[in-house]
């Protein structure tokens, strides 16, 4: 496995080390970057939120096992005045059953004392056939976005 494309966009510290280890499929090195009391908040799917690095290990172990060619790409990153690291990133690969997978989104990491203590996680599957913007607006608003305006 390779170091993720764009990892050089990340600041030195636990976010960069975590992504570098994940790109190498080095589970132990990756999990070592998380605090024991790490909190993963998934706002778009609240029931998927969890606490603890044991769940990080479980999640990524399944990903590495189920998607042996999993690759990561850092598309952009920024560090806020509060020290949080915003990362736009993507992952892709092919599951063992031959199904291609692709995800993209943003994660907002909170590092403290050289470990990752929290994240707001917005990574989602990429949908290539979910309709255009008018279909999306209609799905949210319940009305056709191409019709007359009030």
In tens, the pLDDT along 101-142 reads 999 999 999 999 999 999 999 999 999 888 888 887 888 888
82-110 in b/e form (b: 16+ CB < 10 A) is eebbebbbbbbbeeeeeeeeeebbbbbbb
For the record, the structure tokens of 72 come out as 């990561």
Fold classification of 7-141 is Nuclear Transport Factor 2; Chain: A, (3.10.450)
Q: Which residue has the higher pLDDT, 96 or 3?
A: 96
Residues facing 91 on adjacent strands? 72, 103
| Per-residue confidence band for 150, with pLDDT thresholds at 50, 70 and 90 | low
Share of the chain above pLDDT 90, in %: 81
Over the stretch 58-93, which tens digit does the pLDDT of each residue have?
999 999 999 999 999 999 999 999 999 999 999 999
Mean pLDDT of 27-52: 97
**Using an 8 Å Cβ cutoff, are 74 and 19 in contact?**
yes
C-alpha distances in angstroms, 26 versus 5, 12, 43, 58, 131? 16, 18, 28, 13, 37
**Using an 8 Å Cβ cutoff, are 136 and 114 in contact?**
no
Q: Measuring CA to CA, which residue among 110, 75, 109, 116 is closest to residue 92?
A: 75
Q: Where are the domains of the chain?
A: 7-141
| Per-residue confidence band for 147, with pLDDT thresholds at 50, 70 and 90 | low
**Using an 8 Å Cβ cutoff, are 85 and 105 in contact?**
no
């Amino acid at each position: 496995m390779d170091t993720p494309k764009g990892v050089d966009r990340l600041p030195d510290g636990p976010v960069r080390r975590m992504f570098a280890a994940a790109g190498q499929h080095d589970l132990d090195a990756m999990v070592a970057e998380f605090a024991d009391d790490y909190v993963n908040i998934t706002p778009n799917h609240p029931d998927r939120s969890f606490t603890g690095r044991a769940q990080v290990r479980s999640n990524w172990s399944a990903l590495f096992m189920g998607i042996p060619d999993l690759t990561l790409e850092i598309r952009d990153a920024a560090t806020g005045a509060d020290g949080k690291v915003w990362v736009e990133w993507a992952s892709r690969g092919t599951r063992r059953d031959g199904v291609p997978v692709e995800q993209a989104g943003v994660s907002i990491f909170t590092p403290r004392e050289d470990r990752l203590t929290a994240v707001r996680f917005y990574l989602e599957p990429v949908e290539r056939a979910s309709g255009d913007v008018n279909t999306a607006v209609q799905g949210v608003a319940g009305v056709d976005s191409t019709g007359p305006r009030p």
